């Protein structure tokens, strides 16, 4: 049992160490070339309350300790680099990782009298070799960054820089929000029957950024037979259906996505939102209770459940959910103020009803429900 825990703790440590060294391999030449800020992300590239931030002059290190092992690492630099400089930065991470693998193998074969050093060096060698092959083998799956831009793994970027510069141009256009220009080049790829997964995924994201819902509704299903959809594509297609008012299709698509990604919080939320738009209020309440409200969409769930209860004339229960949604200080749907105002009015809390309905009036002065309930509130206040 002792050796098991020792092996487990060493395994965790070496994964973190080999990932950090690999990203440092990218960061050091990037710092030299760009003179701008360089960021290393360990455990995913999203900053939240689980993230530790270390700042060393122009180098920032973000450590998401909850997802440290299985989310890997990423190095992002702000300055623009030339083609050769980019190749050096990309190869440096792989080269440093390979050096770590060779050194740890040397230590493993020479320090035979120290069990702890042998275990640690052996695991570090294996971890580093995994990183070498994982990063060198090109993958066309985009890596989405926190600022909305995308990138790919080292091998895919190196391949593009060496052999397919046009695709690298598309990526640069996308990351600088020149979506129309990116689409023009992608259309040429399609005319040449260029069936790269990366081309398909970037084109999908371009349509999404340009709010081209009809294109997405046609584009994603047309490519489904050629390649299986990932979680993001199910979410994008569901959102596109919703934007076109096709809520039944949105519900069918999100439920289909949940068959492949049953733990997707986003797809669960989109499924419930589609039920709400279809006025399936009892199903919304049931699904919210089934999923549990405490997650990243908790404010939205409380709001949807609250409005559904209000539509079913359960004002007291509705108000509890709507107040909880408000307390989360998260953005929910635009007419939320109207519904919480109506709930307050139906539970005889006139002043609070007046406050929220006035806020709803500021958002949309032509909303018939808002005008109606404001009139009722003012009449009740006068009577009192």
pLDDT digits (tens, 9 = 90+) for 149-194: 777 778 878 777 765 656 777 777 888 888 888 888 777 665 554 4
Q: Is the pTM of this model over 0.85?
A: no
Query: Which residues pair with residue 151 across a beta bridge?
Result: 143
Q: What is the DSSP letter of 333?
A: -
User: Residue 148: which H helix or E strand, with range?
Assistant: none
Residue ranges of the chain with pLDDT lower than 50? 2, 193-194
Token pair recorded at residue 115: 């069990």
Answer yes or no: are the C-beta atoms of 61 and 1 closer than 8 Å. Answer: no
- Neighbouring residues of 10: CB distance < 8 A, sequence distance ≥ 6: 119, 120, 123
Answer yes or no: are the C-beta atoms of 128 and 103 closer than 8 Å. Answer: no
Strand ranges inside 132-232, DSSP E: 143-144, 150-151
CB-based burial, 214-234: b 16+ in 10 Å, e otherwise: ebbbebbeebeeeeebeebbb
Answer yes or no: are the C-beta atoms of 230 and 200 closer than 8 Å. Answer: no
Q: What is the DSSP letter of 295?
A: S
Q: Where are the domains of the chain?
A: 2-136, 166-383
What is residue 237's predicted lDDT score, i.e. its pLDDT?
94
What is residue 11's predicted lDDT score, i.e. its pLDDT?
60
Answer yes or no: are the C-beta atoms of 132 and 98 closer than 8 Å. Answer: yes
Token pair recorded at residue 308: 């559904």
User: Residue 15: which H helix or E strand, with range?
Assistant: helix 2-34
Token pair recorded at residue 135: 């990063």
Token pair recorded at residue 73: 């690492």
What's the rounded Cα separation, in Å, for the pair 136 and 134?
6
Token pair recorded at residue 93: 């991470």
Matching CATH number, 166-383, of 3.40.50.2000, 3.90.1150.10, 3.40.50.11540, 1.25.40.10: 1.25.40.10
In the chain, the N- to C-terminal Cα span, in Å, equals: 74
What is residue 235's predicted lDDT score, i.e. its pLDDT?
92
């Amino acid at each position: 049992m002792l050796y098991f825990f020792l092996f487990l703790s060493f395994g965790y440590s070496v994964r973190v160490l080999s990932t950090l060294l690999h990203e440092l391999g990218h960061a050091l030449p990037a710092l030299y070339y760009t003179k701008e800020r360089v960021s290393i992300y360990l455990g995913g590239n999203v900053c939240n309350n689980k993230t530790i931030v270390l700042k060393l002059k122009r180098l920032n290190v973000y450590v998401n300790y909850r997802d440290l092992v299985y989310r890997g690492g990423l190095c992002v630099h702000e300055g623009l680099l030339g083609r050769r400089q980019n190749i050096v930065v990309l190869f440096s991470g792989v080269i440093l990782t390979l050096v770590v693998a060779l050194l740890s193998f040397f230590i493993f074969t020479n320090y035979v009298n120290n069990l702890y050093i042998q275990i640690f060096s052996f695991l570090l060698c294996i971890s580093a070799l995994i990183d070498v092959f994982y990063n060198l083998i090109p993958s066309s799956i985009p890596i989405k960054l926190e600022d909305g831009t995308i990138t790919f793994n080292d091998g895919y970027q190196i391949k593009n820089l060496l052999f397919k510069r046009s695709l690298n141009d598309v990526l640069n256009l996308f990351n600088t929000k020149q979506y129309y220009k990116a689409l023009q080049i992608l259309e040429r790829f399609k005319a040449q029957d260029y069936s790269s997964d990366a081309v398909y995924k970037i084109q999908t994201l371009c349509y999404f950024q340009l709010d081209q819902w009809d294109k997405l509704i046609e584009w994603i299903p047309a490519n489904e037979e050629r390649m299986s959809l990932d979680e993001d594509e199910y979410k994008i297609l569901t959102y596109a259906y919703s934007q076109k008012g096709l809520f039944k299709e949105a519900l069918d698509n999100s439920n289909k996505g949940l068959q492949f990604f049953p733990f997707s919080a986003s797809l669960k939320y989109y499924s419930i939102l589609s039920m709400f738009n279809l006025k399936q209020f009892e199903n919304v309440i049931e699904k919210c209770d089934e999923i549990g409200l405490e997650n990243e969409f908790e404010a939205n769930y409380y709001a949807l459940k609250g409005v559904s209860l209000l539509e079913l004339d359960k004002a007291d229960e509705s108000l509890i959910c709507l107040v909880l949604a408000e307390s989360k200080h998260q953005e929910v749907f635009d007419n939320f103020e109207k519904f919480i105002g109506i709930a307050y009015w139906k539970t005889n809390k006139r002043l609070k009803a007046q406050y929220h309905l006035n806020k709803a009036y500021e958002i949309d002065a032509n909303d018939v429900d808002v005008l109606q309930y404001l009139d009722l509130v003012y009449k009740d206040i006068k009577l009192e």
